[in-house]
Structure 1
């Protein structure tokens, strides 16, 4: 699964990545975040009548039919590719409300419980990753407030990723952005090889959801026993924590 990730980019970077983005005239500030946790707000890219737009969404999917409180919906920040098209929770959004969740990196943990070592995984070229996602619009029955929420789709890990976990985010190739967002493509898009990846060990401060998520040092290699970024050389293009 994917339980932590980061979003740190400029407007120029996200516009180029999205091919392109419909940018609001005022261009509100983009806040860099290095340790995003479930139920907090994230950026998502959706397809609208005016093109691709960057929107905000609660990371933790709430289906439109949900009648209870948001915190009762369970762990819906991930949706497994193996059942996403048929699941009551996600199937409507899979058909009608897809999104791309841009990511600078994501995290995975190794080691025994109580001594977990965090690894940061990013694109080998330093570019952004395109997580396949779903979004939904839900109305809180108690307050009438409308909430936009989202989930990251995960798949079985490839051979390189399997040294860290048996799951990984489903990552889209830029040439497939249209087919994913407009619904013309299916599961085959989610199982394409991911881009070339690299990973390195970071501070155990990442293990806590209390660590300030706007602290860029959370992404730095650890000073003691520093591990250099290790590229994924097994893929030509290329957990529940992932």
Structure 2
């Protein structure tokens, strides 16, 4: 799964990396991004790429209660094209969720050890995501979920699942391909190559989403 990550880059770096022309309104870096928070995402509106904030935890347009979002922070990439909650989003509402590392907790003998995990050869990257718009009694929510897959060789010792990290040359294609069948979007994800990752231990300080400072990423000595 993916339940916590970071985005520490400055705004200009993000704009340049993803080819965004407009400033990001209310951009704030974060050491500890958690479900239920607003997260920086990029969509393509048919004409251009746009960066803005979506709430992490998908609330499908048909949902009766927005609380369902807390159960839908992730979607399995292997089956999202078949699931009622996700298959139409796979076709038309794909997004990039911008990050520069993510956390995962490795089960030890007595407790879980948090680790910070990053690509080995680049600072910024994007998770493959899905988004939707929900309306009820005049309230509107724009929410998202992060796609996950089975762990690669590196991640298997840490956790059996991992987020889908889009290769640098595939991120645009995920959002600019236009309408696709859910099966076509699924095939795209299945065709992605896995890049090298690196990890180091961090303190249990990161376990609380209330903590959001350099202590979250400080290497554990």
TM-score (norm 2): 0.90
Evaluate the alpha carbon distance shift between residue 10 and residue 62 of structure 1 in structure 2; reply closer, same or farther with a 3 A threshold.
same
Which residue, 35, 48, 60 being the options, matches 1:51? Answer: 48
**Cα distance in 2 between the residues matched to 1:91 and 1:114:** 40
How many residue pairs get matched? 215
CA drift of 1:152 comes to 0.3
Aligned-residue offset at 1:210: 2.5
The one of 70, 92, 98 aligned to 1:102: 98
Partner SS for 1:175: coil
| Native 8 Å contact 2:206 2:215 kept in 1 | no
Q: Report 1:212-223 matches (<5 A).
A: 213=212, 215-222=213-220
Query: What secondary structure does 2:133 align onto?
Result: strand
Among residues 90, 107, 110, which one is paired with 1:111 in the alignment? 107
Counterpart in the other structure of 1:122: 118
CA distance in 1, matches of 2:194, 2:30: 23
* Per-residue deviation, 1:83: 1.0
Mean alpha-carbon deviation: is it higher for 3-12 or for 105-114? 105-114
Q: C-alpha deviations, 1:117-139, integer Å up to 9, x for none?
A: 10000121341121000010101
Deviation at 1:74, TM superposition (A): 4.7
**Is the Cα contact below 8 Å between 1:79 and 1:151 reproduced in 2?**
yes
Cα-to-partner distance string for 1:92-116 (whole Å, 9 max, x where unaligned): 1111100011111001111348722
The correspondence of residues 1-242 of structure 1 with structure 2, limited to 5 A, is 1-18=1-18, 20-24=19-23, 27-68=24-65, 70-112=66-108, 115-139=111-135, 141=136, 143-181=137-175, 182-183=177-178, 186-191=185-190, 192-211=192-211, 213=212, 215-222=213-220, 226=221
Unaligned runs of 5+ in 2: none
Between 1:121-130 and 1:160-169, the stretch displaced more is: 121-130
Per the alignment, do residues 165 and 51 of structure 1 end up closer, same or farther by CA in structure 2, a change over 3 Å counting?
Answer: same
- Structure 2 residue matching 1:64: 3-state secondary structure: coil
| 1:229 aligned partner | none
Gaps of 5+ in 1: 227-242
